[in-house]
Amino acid sequence: MPATRAKRPARAWQRMLSGRRLDLLDPSPLDVELEDIAHGLAFVARWNGQTSGDWPYSVAEHSLLVEELAVLPDGDPRWPLAALLHDAPEYVIGDMISPVKAAVGPGYAEMDARLTAAVHIRFGLPPALPARVKRAIKAADRASAWLEAVRIAGFSEAEASRFFGRPADGLRRRPLVPRPPAEVRAAFLARAEALMARR
């Protein structure tokens, strides 16, 4: 009987432009770099790229909007950074629309949670945010999703309101213009650095 070869374990790490190797199954905060996050999120398209304009609307652009819209509790200087980084794991696992996340099942949520904890620890945030902070960020996330859906993803206001809730009148009039990835990457980095300097 021929000897059986030991099966090689599947590669579970991603090589980043910084040179770091981020283990997706057991991520270390030591392998998380702000420049990698900014670059990755600036090149990941929201809405699976199904948006109008000359550039895809990136997760980095969305993250900047969520941080701007978030009404955060306590005045704690850590929470705006948490809002900016709320989708940080997508720099390595991409952005999946909600129906795909539901179809993939709990494995996606578990990987997202591990990556989130690593990112948070790297930047001095609690691995899991307090519930009141998560709720505030989620409210801003939904308002951003409504705005994106109506302005650039082809939804009617009624349809977007059914899925994401109806935001305040002033927000509903706000324009959205997708920007080139390099410009958004620079804006994300600058904002993250400014927020970190406040703590």
pLDDT 10s digits, 127-165: 999 999 999 999 999 999 999 999 999 999 999 999 999
59-96 burial, b if ≥16 CB within 10 A, otherwise e? Answer: bbbbbbbbbebbebeeeeebbbbbbbbbbbbbbbeebe
Question: Greater confidence, 171 or 134?
Answer: 134
Residue 14 lies in a domain: no
Least confident of 12-21, 84-93, 96-105: 96-105
Q: In total, how many domains does the chain have?
A: 1
Average pLDDT over residues 23-28: 94
Calpha distance 140→188 (Å, rounded): 17
Task: Indicate the pTM of the whole model.
Answer: 0.92
Calpha distance 1→111 (Å, rounded): 40
Average pLDDT over residues 4-14: 74
Nearest-CA neighbor of 27 among 137, 131, 120, 107?
120
Q: What percent of the chain stands above pLDDT 70?
A: 95
Which tokens hold the place of 153?
């993803």
For residue 51, give the amino acid letter. Answer: T
Residue 21 lies in a domain: no
Calpha distance 133→115 (Å, rounded): 18
Residue 143 lies in a domain: yes
Which residues constitute the domain of residue 159?
Answer: 29-197
Residue 7 lies in a domain: no
Residue 13 lies in a domain: no
Calpha distance 181→176 (Å, rounded): 15
- Model confidence at 2: pLDDT above 60: no
Q: State the CATH number of the domain containing residue 67.
A: 1.10.3210.10
